[in-house]
Amino acid sequence: MKYDIIVLGSGPGGYVTAIRASQLGFKVAVIEKENLGGICLNWGCIPTKALLKSAQVFDYLKHASDYGLTIEKFDKDFNAVVSRSRGVADGMSKGVQFLMKKNKIDVINGFGKVKPGKKVDVTDKDGKVIEYTADNIIIATGARSRELPNLPQDGKKVIGYRQAMTLPEQPKSIIVVGSGAIGVEFAHFYNSMGTQVTIVEFMPNIVPVEDEDISKQMERSMKKAGITIMTNASVEKVDTSGNGVKATVKTAKGEEILEADIVLSAVGIKSNIENIGLEEVGIATDRDKVLVNKYYETNIPGYFAIGDIVPGQALAHVASAEGILCVEKLAGLHVEPLDYGNVPGCTYATPEIASVGLTEKQAKEKGYELKIGKFPFSASGKAQASGAPDGFVKVIFDAKYGEWLGCHMIGAGVTDMIAEAVVARKLETTGHEIIKSIHPHPTMSEAIMEAAAAAYDEVIHL
């Protein structure tokens, strides 16, 4: 079977790439070894948000009296919460199946391995191997939970994010190793469900990629919610011989042993680049990543790579954007390389975190003279009325030209607000233009305008 484009992997990089390629007139096939939608739809972005929504509703019930409501009896059903999450994921995967049919894309089930000569071998569940050829092959095989040598995952007592979504019963206690987006989201979920949660983070601050003010606010909020946080700490070894887990944690004060039912390893991801034929084809890699040019072509003509397996942020929306750009370039359209400095990052715990651009520390290191504005949600009428006054918006401008260097938010619903900053930065909008753009009242998004005004000493409500 001969195609114009074969896409290896059907995550948010792969399936989006395939659809855009089909729209552009290419004959396309997608190879997938599991379920359409990849990790994001089946074991990542979507089902975790379903779990977090259940946690949010449960938190509302626990605080009903804050809203003048009386609920005499309520409880959670952990298995039903997990079941709802799986149902949402299954529905999304079926949606991708529909999109494949709608766009006349062939779906090939099996494990794909690229070969020289623009060929792909696909091994199906029965071990049968079929060879396919294409003018262009796009590798979008994604990533999986990274394992540390001193924290091997057995899938039962030491688990990764995949098992954390489908535990057969709720643990009474859990140690979360790593406090990136995956770590704090699961920490929040299990804490909301009533599990005793401890976060162990190697760096001085949790969510360490964020602006330091955001990290400190997140730590305060999580501690207030009852989560124990250990920073500048590392898990040296785990003992799973007993009923639970004993984790030896190294801190500045020495070593201590923590006991819990389960340890969740959330220390990052590992690219899926093994055993897919890269070496046989001669595709260059470096430090777990496939090397590509700004249009995602590898060193071997006709072979491309996108998503978590290439350098850049390992985010679903980045993979989608890379794939679209890649096939539009193949179609001869005028495209601009992605600006990786204007990619939004979101964390969906409570409070949420959303950010784009430079942190204050990064901006100072680059030598900018800064104008910084912060607006707390405690001064927002909408936030107070919603019962969500925690958090703030922080904006960073270049004092000389007014360039919007960075935007950092923590609070309720901020993941839906960050796009304003992304678009404004894309359009090279200045701080004064944000201040003079009328924002609706009362909304959470007013805080962006107020923060910009604060940077220029024009803030009204603070």
How many other CB atoms sit within 10 Å of the CB of residue 331?
A: 15
Check 188, 408, 441, 461 and give the catalytic one: 441
Cβ 407 vs Cβ 421: under 8 Å: yes
Is 269 in contact with 143 (CB distance < 8 Å)?
yes
Active site residue 334: no
CB count within 10 Å of CB 438 equals 7
Q: How would you classify residue 215: left for phi > 0, otherwise alpha for psi between -120 and 50, otherwise beta?
A: alpha
CB burial of residue 96 (10 Å; 0-12, 13-18, 19+): buried
Q: Which amino acid is at 104?
A: K
Is residue 73 classed exposed, middle or buried when 0-12, 13-18 and 19+ CB atoms within 10 A define those classes? exposed
CA distance 36 to 109: 9
- As a whole number of angstroms, the distance between CA 159 and CA 258 comes to 16
Mark 282-297 as b/e (b = at least 16 C-beta within 10 Å): ebebeeebbebeeebb
Q: Positive or negative, the Cα torsion across 166, 170, 174, 178?
A: positive
Whether the Cβ atoms of residue 215 and residue 208 lie closer than 8 Å to each other: yes
Q: Return the active site residues.
A: 441
